[in-house]
Amino acid sequence: MKLIASLTSPFARKVRIVLLEKKIDCPLEEVQPWILDSHVIDHNPLGKVPVLILDDGSSLFDSRVIVEFLDTISPVSRILPQDKRALIATRRWEALADGVCDAATAIVIEQRRPVAQQSEDWIHRQMQKVERGLAMLAHDLGDRHWCNGEAYSLADIAVGVCLGYLDFRFPAINWRDRYPRLAELQLRLSTRPSFVDTVPPPHA
């Protein structure tokens, strides 16, 4: 297998964390998918990362499909609950965290356009999604130690990646003071080797 990914992509980071948690050795090919001559489209017609190239040459995308596949090929550190109700809850956490990342990356892309072409209304609309998403993440976490209760799972990985991406791209968002329990969760996650080893490079 081989993972095609950007070191700054939150979705790629989620997959990289899962690989480390499950102790799956997988080479990483770093790419910048927004470059016109990027070969990502050879493996994903949508031109997005991450893409997992399997041993038979076929490819898997997007991150949600990849992490589910990875959880099936190794029994080490299962990240998806076997109980159906808990699984749906985990998938909901992941969808919400990924949605916040979608909105945040949309802002980053918009702000790379020439200033005269940027839409402040669009940026504001996406930032509202980020703020509403953070509020729901905090509400749903409540006073629990982990997102799904007492067990570390993909839900925590997705939320931790989301919060890390906001720190990386939007450090001015003061979410820690407003949501101290999310801050406590992020602090616990930030000490895990899988999170430490996948922090985006500074100034990227």
> pLDDT tens digits for 163-187?
999 999 999 999 999 999 999 999 9
Q: Where does the pLDDT of residue 32 fall: very low under 50, low under 70, confident under 90, or very high at 90 and above?
A: confident
Domains in the chain with CATH codes: 2-73 (3.40.30.10), 84-196 (1.20.1050.10)
Residues pairing with 60 in the sheet: 52
Q: If you average pLDDT over every residue of the chain, what do you get?
A: 95
Name the pLDDT band for 107 (thresholds 50, 70, 90): very high
CA 12 to CA 5: how far, in whole Å?
6
Query: What are φ and ψ of residue 5, in 5° steps?
Result: -160, 160
pTM: 0.96
Residue 45 DSSP symbol:
T
Mean pLDDT of 61-81: 96
Task: Round to the nearest angstrom and report the end-to-end CA distance of the chain.
Answer: 26
Mean pLDDT computed over 117-141: 98
